[in-house]
Amino acid sequence: MIHATPFTGPSTATARRVLTAVGLQYEIPGRTLLDSAELSVESGESVAITGPSGSGKSTLLTCLLGLVRPRAGQIEIAGKDITRLSQGKLASHRRDTIGMVFQFAELLNELSPVENVALAALLKGRDRKAAYGRAEELLTDLGVPVFRRDTADLSGGERQRTALARALINEPALLLADEPTGALDEDNRESVADLLFSLPARWNCGLVVVTHDASVAARADRQLELRHGKLLHQGGTASV
């Protein structure tokens, strides 16, 4: 039986460590993508990760999501090492603590924007009325018309804003974004990037953004480059 959980809104708690990844190792045939990579993120902080195509940036995000397990290393998110969780507990912890934004939004066109956002809350066991009410609030706050019935008719910027609302509805400790502006035109890229990097302070969450766009990365509190399997600060020093 699923028990409904009330919404509490954005957190106002003090800064805390929401992500600690140490010693991450991941290989594919003929290539090492992660080689003792390390990353930590505090609530209220944003981190941008850049690097050449094929360097392993998206692989790192899939490890942080728990969709693949690194060969070695630990990933602690909101106080739990996800590399030690069973699949069932991992899925539950991911719903509770992580919001994900994809490059192409990955919305369901057969659902309305409100339904797309509310679905994430319903899967967590939220009350239907509360889920839909909160979805409407988030979409309004993020600049998406709540009366719009057809998701397929949303502009590129509106689709990404809807994806952001979906990622936020379960009040995650950590937001992950994979090339979130990569499919947008210049105007929408700027507005979505501005909105995205405002969220850690507003929601007291951590944010990790993978991007190839230097202007987007420049908005982050910290910029790291994934190079030869390691996360490095500008200048070549290892991340912490």
Quote the Cα angle for 235-237-240, to 5°. 135
pLDDT tens profile 81-128: 999 999 999 999 999 999 999 988 899 999 999 999 999 999 999 999
Confidence of residue 4 (pLDDT cuts 50, 70, 90): very low
Query: Which residues are CB-neighbours of 86 under 8 A, at least 6 positions away?
Result: none
* All domains of the chain in start order, with CATH: 17-233 (3.40.50.300)
Among candidate residues 95, 154, 152, 92, the one with its CA nearest the CA of residue 120: 95
Confidence of residue 11 (pLDDT cuts 50, 70, 90): low
